[in-house]
Amino acid sequence: MLRFLRSCLAAFRYAFSGWWHVLRTQRNAWIHAVMTVTAALLGLWLRIGAYDWLFLVVAAGFVWFAEFLNTALEAVVDLASPEKHPLAKVGKDVGAAAVLIAALVAAIIGLVVLGPPLLAKFVEMR
Residues involved in catalysis:
67
Q: Please state, in angstroms and rounded to a whole number, the distance separating the CA atoms of residues 116 and 49.
A: 13
Q: Which residue, 55, 63, 50, 48, is CA-closest to 120? A: 48
Residue 12: CB atoms within 10 A of its CB come to 9
